């Protein structure tokens, strides 16, 4: 019996033969390159992260890990994507016009990535004023908007109505810029941002495979593999950090992948947001909490839930393990929940709202316990 007996079997086997080696190359490339950067073995790329008001580390640590992640994503995808025909990259079943837009979409993503990487690297080396970083992020968001990756529907269970046209652009800009920045805000503890990338982009890759969107699955799986290669050097005690370059790119890629997945009808918007909700909820809640107190929200701080737990006496490993459980659960329930009836999807979201409420309560209890112990001492 021949190995491939139909065109359908060939279409399924061919992407796998390309995807699996790409993931291995991405992981090994990231692990090797980040290892060199950790030892400051690459001339011109010795950039240290010195402790500041938002840090949990006590000594300078290299902050160039994002360079390794970027290279480990761009090189395998540049080599592999040409082997996949457009219909495998963006299935025409969702929107036939997307097939012809594939080159423009990939070009926009690549250009936006390079722009963000360049500005973020300058920021890692010295300092780039916040308004210039924001302008670059908005330009990257405009590139996504121009090729059709937009927040243009409500995206809640059973509510897929389009939002007003005049609101689509500002909502897309806000979403992309916020995701880019919140990832940076949450990158303040060993293993946290890298772990969110592994679980988050891994979940999006599963959505791609389930929807037979091999190109989409490949892109997200390669990002997850590159993050895993970085993560082996970033687990406690970390020998290297992502830096602004790595965290900004991961946040931007997350926003772009969520918008692309919704456009391809691989999942509803709420499911994509749920995948990255461990970061979205913490960063957004902390921003609102600081703003209501009249604090300058853009200043460095240590008020995120994970920082407060460590400051309250939890070890980094203990905090990280709980965070990983939360990330894995968010991704798994997003994948399973998107296929549930609408009423059960709402129950799922209500359950997650309760979970995050309990997380907030647990953090406050840990702080009170630490304060009481300090007083008794």
| pLDDT by 10s per residue, the chain, length 377 | 333 333 344 444 456 677 788 999 999 999 999 999 998 888 878 777 666 556 555 567 888 899 999 999 999 999 888 776 665 566 554 456 666 677 788 889 999 999 999 999 998 888 888 899 999 999 999 999 999 899 999 999 998 889 998 999 999 999 999 999 999 989 889 999 999 999 999 999 999 989 888 888 999 999 999 999 999 999 998 889 998 999 999 999 999 999 999 988 899 999 999 999 999 999 999 888 888 887 776 676 778 889 899 888 899 999 999 999 999 999 999 999 999 999 999 999 999 999 999 999 999 998 888 677 666 65
- ω into 237 cis (within 30 of 0): yes
- Between CA 94 and CA 192 the distance in angstroms is 34
What pLDDT was estimated at residue 97?
64
Residue 35's nearest CA partner among 78, 82, 67, 5 is 67
| Parent domain of 202 | 33-277
For 326-342, b/e burial (b = at least 16 CB within 10 A) is bbbebbebbbebbeeee
Is 91 a domain residue? yes
* Integer Cα distance of 273 and 322 in angstroms: 20
Q: Are 234 and 241 in contact (CB under 8 A)?
A: yes
For residue 48, give the H/E element and its range.
strand 48-49
d(CA 208, CA 215): 8
* Domain tally, the chain: 1
| Domain assignment present for 297 | no
- Rounded to whole angstroms, the Cα distance separating 339 from 342 reads 9
- C-alpha distance from residue 377 to each of 365, 371, 374 (Å): 18, 10, 5
Q: Using an 8 Å Cβ cutoff, are 372 and 185 in contact? A: no
Q: Give residue 340's pLDDT.
A: 94
167-181 residues labelled b (16+ CB within 10 A) or e (exposed): ebeebbbebbbbbbb
Structural domain includes residue 106: yes
Report the predicted TM-score, pTM, of the whole model to 2 decimal places. 0.91
Written as one string, the DSSP assignment of 201-258 is: HHHHHHHHHHTT-HHHHHHHHHHHHHHHHHHTTTSSSPS---HHHHHHHHHHHHHHHH
With respect to residue 21, please indicate whether it lies within any of the assigned structural domains: no
pLDDT of the residue at 105: 85
Is 213 within a domain?
A: yes
- Tell me if 19 is assigned to some domain: no
3-state secondary structure of 156: strand
The residues that bridge with 49 in the sheet, in sequence order, are 61
Would residue 169 count as lying in a domain?
Answer: yes
What span, in angstroms and rounded, lies between the C-alpha atoms of 26 and 79?
A: 11
In a domain, 124, yes or no: yes
- pLDDT value of residue 3: 33
The whole-angstrom separation of Cα 246 and Cα 241 is: 9
Phi/psi at 302 (5° precision): -135, 55
Residues paired with residue 61 on neighbouring β-strands, in sequence order: 49
């Amino acid at each position: 019996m021949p190995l491939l007996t139909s065109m359908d079997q060939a279409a399924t086997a061919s992407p796998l033969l390309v995807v699996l080696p790409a993931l291995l190359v991405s992981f090994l490339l990231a692990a090797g390159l980040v290892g060199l950067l950790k030892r400051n073995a690459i001339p011109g790329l010795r950039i240290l992260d010195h402790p500041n008001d938002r840090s949990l580390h006590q000594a300078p640590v290299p902050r160039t890990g994002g360079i390794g992640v970027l290279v480990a994503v761009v090189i395998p995808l540049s080599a592999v994507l040409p082997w996949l025909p457009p219909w495998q990259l963006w299935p025409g079943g969702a929107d036939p016009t997307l097939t012809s837009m594939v080159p423009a979409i990939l070009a926009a993503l690549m250009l936006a990535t390079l722009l963000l990487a360049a500005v973020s690297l300058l920021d890692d080396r010295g300092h780039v004023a916040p308004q210039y970083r924001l302008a670059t992020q908005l330009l990257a968001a405009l590139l996504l908007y121009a090729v059709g990756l937009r927040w243009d529907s409500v995206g809640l269970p059973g509510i897929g109505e389009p939002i007003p046209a005049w609101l689509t652009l500002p909502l897309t800009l806000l979403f992309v810029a916020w995701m880019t920045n919140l990832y940076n805000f949450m990158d303040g503890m060993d293993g946290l941002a890298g772990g969110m990338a592994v679980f988050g982009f891994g979940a999006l890759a599963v959505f791609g495979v389930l929807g037979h969107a091999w190109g989409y699955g490949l892109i997200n799986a390669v990002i997850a593999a590159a993050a895993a290669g970085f993560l082996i050097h970033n687990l406690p005690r970390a020998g290297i950090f992502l830096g602004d370059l790595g965290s900004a790119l991961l946040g931007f890629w997350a926003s772009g992948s969520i918008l692309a997945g919704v456009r391809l009808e691989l999942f509803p918007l709420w499911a994509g947001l749920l995948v990255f909700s461990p970061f979205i909820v913490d960063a957004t809640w902390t921003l609102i909490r600081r703003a209501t107190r009249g604090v300058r929200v853009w200043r460095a701080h240590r008020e995120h839930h994970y920082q407060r737990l460590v400051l309250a006496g939890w070890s980094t490993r203990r905090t990280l393990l709980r965070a990983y459980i939360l990330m894995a659960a968010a991704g798994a329930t997003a994948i399973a929940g998107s296929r549930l009836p609408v009423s059960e999807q709402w129950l799922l979201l209500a359950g997650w709202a309760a979970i995050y409420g309990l997380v907030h309560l647990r953090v406050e209890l840990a702080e009170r316990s630490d304060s009481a112990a300090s007083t008794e001492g």
